[in-house]
């Protein structure tokens, strides 16, 4: 594959809607997503059920995915964790990797995880230390960091790019397997994206991670192209565009997985994902959440006449 798409709908999408999907339906949806060829799926977050009841069964979801021993998961099971307690639970449940959000905005950091950015970085170091001690006897292979509000914040507005890079360096030094950048609030523009990811690569090299964009202001796929030009090869997206941040007002609309797959494949980049199977997973989602708005241009318009996947055109 030329590009990895990391599906975040079961986490970022489901945490952003009021109703709670049952564990059984979550597992069915995740398995349907995996059947499309997705090789990374963020299945939930290990957070307080009081704060996000939609994620209360995350451990049960991970264990259910491992329960079919004859057909073990053929994808990496990712989960978001805000602190060491969450990381301990995620690693014990059997996730492949844990992802830790560190906000570049002090206000967002306090609203999101009730810590300053420096306190969050210190907690991240403790998570990395825990993984070094226990990861070898678990399914977990690494700890990733994602810098939230890297391109702007609904509370503070402009976020200093030097601060973002400084945080990335500190996270890499703390033991991050990779450090990605997240446009939590949909503020990013393509020029900014290319500039910041180019700087990230120059500062931390092979530990420079993927991109997480929202389409809040219609710039999502344009930002993907800009990130590609900067060398990024892993992108988060959410089926049907579900998602947003409960602690960032107005942060609606993750980029749509179906539209992202089409964009990349049409550009000649192999994603390993089949659109027909991805649309079948969308049907599972529609049945699990009747009446929930589902977005996407490609699902509405269909694939163009003569469309060929990248590996077919090679």
Residue 153 contacts residue 159 (beta carbons within 8 Å): yes
Start-to-end CA span in the chain (Å): 12
Two tokens, residue 2: 């030329």
Active site residue 245: yes
Query: What's the CA gap between 51 and 29, in Å, rounded?
Result: 23
Residue 46 contacts residue 56 (beta carbons within 8 Å): no
Instruction: Give the closest residue to 63 by CA, choosing from 86, 47, 44.
Output: 44
Instruction: Give the closest residue to 255 by CA, choosing from 265, 263, 246, 247.
Output: 263
Residue 126 contacts residue 84 (beta carbons within 8 Å): yes
DSSP string over 166-186: HHHHHHHHHT-SEEEEE-TTS
Strand partners for 44: 79
Residue 26 contacts residue 57 (beta carbons within 8 Å): yes
Two tokens, residue 206: 């092979």
The active-site residue, picked from 58, 128, 153, 245, is 245
Query: What's the CA gap between 114 and 106, in Å, rounded?
Result: 10
Instruction: Give the closest residue to 56 by CA, choosing from 20, 92, 97, 96.
Output: 20
Instruction: Give the closest residue to 62 by CA, choosing from 132, 123, 139.
Output: 139
Active-site residues, by number, are: 245
């Amino acid at each position: 594959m030329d590009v990895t798409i990391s599906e975040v709908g079961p986490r970022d999408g489901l945490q952003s809607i009021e109703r709670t999907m049952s564990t059984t339906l979550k597992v069915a949806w995740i398995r349907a997503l995996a059947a499309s060829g997705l090789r990374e799926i963020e299945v939930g977050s290990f957070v307080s059920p009081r704060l996000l009841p939609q994620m209360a069964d995350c451990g049960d979801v991970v264990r259910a995915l491992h329960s079919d021993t004859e057909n073990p998961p053929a994808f990496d099971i990712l989960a978001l964790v805000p602190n060491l307690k969450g990381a301990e639970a995620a690693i014990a449940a059997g996730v492949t990797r844990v992802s830790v959000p560190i906000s570049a905005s002090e206000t967002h950091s306090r609203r999101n995880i009730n810590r300053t950015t420096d306190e969050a970085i210190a907690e991240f170091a403790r998570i990395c230390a825990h993984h070094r001690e226990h990861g070898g006897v678990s399914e977990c292979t690494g700890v990733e960091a994602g810098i939230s509000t890297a391109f702007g914040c609904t509370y503070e507005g402009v976020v200093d790019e030097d601060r973002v890079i400084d945080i990335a360096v500190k996270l890499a030094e703390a033991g991050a397997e990779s450090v990605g950048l997240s446009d939590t609030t949909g503020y990013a523009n393509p020029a900014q994206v290319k500039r910041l990811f180019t700087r990230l690569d120059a500062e931390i090299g092979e530990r420079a991670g993927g991109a997480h964009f929202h389409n809040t202001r219609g710039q999502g796929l344009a930002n993907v192209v800009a990130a590609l030009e900067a060398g990024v090869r892993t992108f988060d997206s959410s089926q049907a565009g579900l998602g947003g941040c409960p602690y960032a007002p107005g942060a609606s609309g993750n980029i749509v997985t179906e539209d992202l797959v089409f964009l990349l494949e049409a550009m000649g980049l192999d994603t390993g994902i089949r659109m027909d199977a991805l649309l079948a997973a969308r049907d599972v989602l529609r049945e699990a959440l009747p009446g929930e708005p589902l977005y996407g241009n490609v699902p509405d318009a269909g694939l163009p006449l003569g469309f060929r996947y990248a590996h077919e055109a090679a």
